[in-house]
Amino acid sequence: MSEAISYIWLGVLAVFEAPALFSLAGIGIPAPLVMLLCGLLTGIAVGATPGLAGPMAMAVSLPILISVFGVSADALLPVFAFLIGIMKGATVGGAVPAILFNTPGTPDAFMTTLDGHPMTLRGTPERALKIAHFSSVSGDTVSDIVLFVCAPFLAVMVESVLDLPEKTALIILSLSFIAAVMGASVAKGLISVSLGMVSAYVATGQGFHPRLTMGVEALSDGFPLIAAVLGVLILGEVFKSIFDMWRGIRRKRAEDHNADLAPDGLRPGDIRRILPHIGRSSLIGCMVGALPGVGSTLAATLGHSLGKRRHETRKGPTDKSFGEGIPEGIAATEAANSAVSGANLIPVLSLGIPGNAAAVFLILAADSIGGFNPGPSVFNFAAPEINPELVVAFGIFTLMALGNLLNWTIGGIFMRSMGVMARVPNRILLPVVLLVTLTAIYVQETSLAALWVAIGFGVLGFFFRVLEISVLPFVIAFILAGSLENTARQAFSASGGDPFFLFRSPVACGMLAAAVILVVLLARKK
C-alpha cells in the first residue's frame, strides 16, 4: 500500500513539476496542464462540429505534437495530456449539434437528439445543454474512478497468472471479439481484422528478406504506421463524406414547435430527477467500455432503452415519455456514452489492447515517443528501482482527474458557446480536414511516399465504409499484429520449438475455444 501511495504521489509530481511551457506572473505553468486545457477546448469544439470527432482530431494532432515536443521522456505527459483533453472534450461537445440542430455528429449522439432537440424547439435549449453537460461529466467521472481502481488490479492479476502462451491466446481472443461485435456482420469484421494483419506484416518480421512485398522496392520498409492509420480512419471518412455530398445526401430535421412557456435553464428538481438515470447509465457505460471493441453507440442505446423502460413504469398519467423532450432521456444517453471513455482505457493500460479509436492514438503516441509500453508490465510495484512506466501511468490518471475538474468548471461554459460550430458547411470543413491531415502526415514522416500510402489506405477506408465494413478492427489488428507475432515467437522459443505450444496450456486452450465459440454464435445470430 505504501508503494502504491508513493507512486501516486510521483505521478502527481510528474504532472505539476514538468518543464514549464510559459510563465504567468512569475510562476511557471507546467506543459501538461497547458496542453490538457488546450486539448479539452479543442475537443469540445470538434465534438460540436458535425462530421468531426475526437479520434479525428487526435489523429491530426498526434504527428504535430510529436514534432513539437520530440520523442524524449519529457514529451510523454504533454502529448498524452492533449490527447486526453480531446477525448474528454469531444465527449461533452458531441451533444451540442444533436440538441441544437438535430444533427448527430457521431452515432451515439443520435439518441440525444430524441429528447434534446424537442426541448430546443420548445424554447429551452439552455436547459437541455446544461443537463447534457452535467450528465456527461458525471458519467465520465464515474468511468475514471472505475479505471483507476480496475486497471492496476487487472494488470497485476494478468501478469501473475498469464505466461507467453496465454498472452498469445488472449490477443487472438481480443481480435476475434473485436471482429465479431463490430460492424454489420461477423464476416465483415473478420475481413477487416485479416486485412489489417496482412497490411501490418508487409516487410516486417525477423527474416533476412522482406515479406509480402511482391518484389516492389517501395514496400521494403513496410507501411508507415501513422500514414496507414490516418489514411483509413480520417481520409477514408473525408472521401466518403465528399462522395455523400456529391450524391446530394442531406440530413432531415424534426419539426415540432410546441413552445415551452417556462424560462430557459435548469429548474428546481431537475438534478434530483436525473440522478437515478445518470447512475444506471454510468454503470452500463463502464461495463460496455471495459470490453475491447464495444463502443459508446451500444452504451448509449442500452442506457436510453433501460432508462425508457424504467421511466415508463414510474411515470404519471400526465408525464411525458422518452422521445418527447424530457431531461431523463438526455441524461440516460449522455451518461452512458461518456462513461465509456475512461473504462475503454482499462484494456489499454492493463492488457495493451486498444478498445476504441481514442485508445488507438494513445497507444500510437506511446509507441512513437517510447518509454511507455501499455500492458501488464506497467503496474509492477515490486521493481527494485523506481518504475518510470508506473509513474507515467499515475501521471495519466492525474491528467484524467484534472480533465474532469476542468470539464466541471469551464467545460460547460465553453460547450454552450460552441453552437456556432454546427453551422460550418461540409464544403468548407472537409477540404480543411484533408489538408491538415496530409500536412500532419508529412510533418511526421517527411516523405511523399507516406502521403501516397495514406491516400491509398484512404481509398481502402472509403470502400470499407461503402461496403459497411468497420475500419476500427482493421486499425486495431494493424497495431496488435506485431505484438501477436512477437509474443507467439517468444512462446514458441520458450517451449523448445513445440508447434502445439498454444494447446499445452489449459488457459490458452480455453481462450482459443472461447474465440471460436464467440465467432460462431454471433455469426448465427441475426
Whether 258 is covered by a domain: the verdict is no
Q: pLDDT value at position 138?
A: 92
C-alpha–C-alpha distance, residues 285 and 301, integer Å: 10
Q: In total, how many domains does the chain have?
A: 1
Query: Is the pLDDT assigned to residue 294 strictly greater than 80?
Result: no
Q: pLDDT value at position 525?
A: 63
The secondary structure of 305-346 as a DSSP string is HHHHHHHHHH--TTSPPTTSS-HHHHHHHHHHHHHHHHHTTH
pLDDT by residue (tens digit) across 300-321?
Answer: 878 888 888 888 887 777 778 7
Whether 387 is covered by a domain: the verdict is yes
Q: pLDDT value at position 195?
A: 93
Whether 261 is covered by a domain: the verdict is no
Whether 256 is covered by a domain: the verdict is no
Whether 71 is covered by a domain: the verdict is yes
Instruction: Specify whether the CB–CB gap between 132 and 95 falls below 8 A.
Output: yes
In the structure, what pLDDT confidence band is assigned to residue 255 with cuts at 50, 70 and 90? very low
Q: pLDDT value at position 256?
A: 42
Q: Which residues contact 281 (CB under 8 A, 6 or more apart)?
A: 135, 139, 299, 303, 306, 307, 331, 332, 333, 334, 335, 336, 339
Whether 254 is covered by a domain: the verdict is no
Q: Which residue range forms the structural domain that includes residue 503? A: 2-20+28-249+268-524
Q: Which residues contact 233 (CB under 8 A, 6 or more apart)?
A: 55, 56, 59, 357, 461, 471, 475
Tell me what the mean pLDDT of segment 269-285 comes to.
88
pLDDT by residue (tens digit) across 100-124?
Answer: 877 765 666 777 888 888 888 888 8
Name the residue with higher pLDDT: 329 or 258. 329
Q: 79-83, 266-270, 455-459: which range is least confident on average?
A: 266-270
| Helix, strand and coil in the chain, % to nearest 5 | 75, 0, 25
Q: pLDDT value at position 250?
A: 45
Instruction: Specify whether the CB–CB gap between 285 and 143 falls below 8 A.
Output: yes
Listed as own residue / partner, the contacts of 38-42 with beta carbons closer than 8 Å and 24 or more positions apart are: 38/82, 38/85, 39/81, 39/82, 39/83, 39/84, 39/85, 39/86, 39/89, 40/85, 40/86, 40/88, 40/89, 40/403, 40/406, 40/407, 40/411, 41/85, 41/89, 41/414, 42/82, 42/85, 42/86, 42/89
Q: 204-208, 372-376, 437-441: which range is least confident on average?
A: 204-208
Q: pLDDT value at position 425?
A: 76
Q: How many CA within 13 A on the CB side of residue 430?
A: 16
Q: pLDDT value at position 355?
A: 65
pLDDT by residue (tens digit) across 462-500?
Answer: 999 899 888 888 888 888 888 888 888 888 888 888 888
Whether 438 is covered by a domain: the verdict is yes
Q: pLDDT value at position 38?
A: 93
Angle between helical axes of 472-494 and 186-200 (0-180°, round to 10): 60
Instruction: Specify whether the CB–CB gap between 457 and 231 falls below 8 A.
Output: yes
Query: Is the pLDDT assigned to residue 78 strictly greater than 90?
Result: yes
Query: Is the pLDDT assigned to residue 251 strictly greater than 50?
Result: no
Whether 291 is covered by a domain: the verdict is yes
Amino acid at 2: S
pTM: 0.79
